[in-house]
Amino acid sequence: MKLKAIKFFSPEENVPKTKAAEKAAPLPTGYISNSGKLVFPAAVLGDLGIDPESTKFKIGTQEGKRKIKSVYLVPSASSEQAFSFEKSGRGHVIPLAIILKKGNVNFESEKLIFKISTFDFDQITKGFELAIEAEAPKSEYTGKPRGRQPRAEAA
């Protein structure tokens, strides 16, 4: 028998290659109340590592824009020109009604939510960007109707 070039396999080559599709964690969200307050549920503050009792924020928006689409929160050590959280129900709020009205945010007539993401303000400080968007309408129920069926009228 004549020797031929033989290619040997490793056990790793026999493992099926499936991509471990890691789902990205959804961004934490809050909402804007109809009285103009940014509402942060307690769970969201815990996820972000914010202590609402002691943390104060400088609040700003993108310069030169007429309509506010994002609100930026940057932690501030000094209490001058900084906003603090107020306890409200099961979460905490930051009242911003006048600022949001000046920024053409229609919080009184439509339900608005914001998605929270982080950004680097400078080398040391991490800030939070609150991207404001309208709440998506609930999708129509497409399942089987439940309950008693209406009677067919006798003709």
The DSSP-derived string for 53-113 is: TT-EEEEE--TT-SS--EEEEEEESS-TT-EE-EEETTEEEEE-HHHHHHTT--TTTS-EE
Conformation bin of residue 90: beta by default, left when phi > 0, alpha when psi is -120 to 50:
alpha
pTM of the predicted protein model: 0.70
Please report the pLDDT score of residue 66 as a whole number. Answer: 85
Distance between CA atoms of residues 40 and 93, nearest Å: 6
Please report the pLDDT score of residue 11 as a whole number. Answer: 79
**What angle (nearest 5°) sits at the alpha carbon of residue 12, between those of residues 6 and 16?**
110
Q: Which residues of the chain have pLDDT under 70?
A: 1-3, 18-25, 154-155
Distance between CA atoms of residues 67 and 101, nearest Å: 10
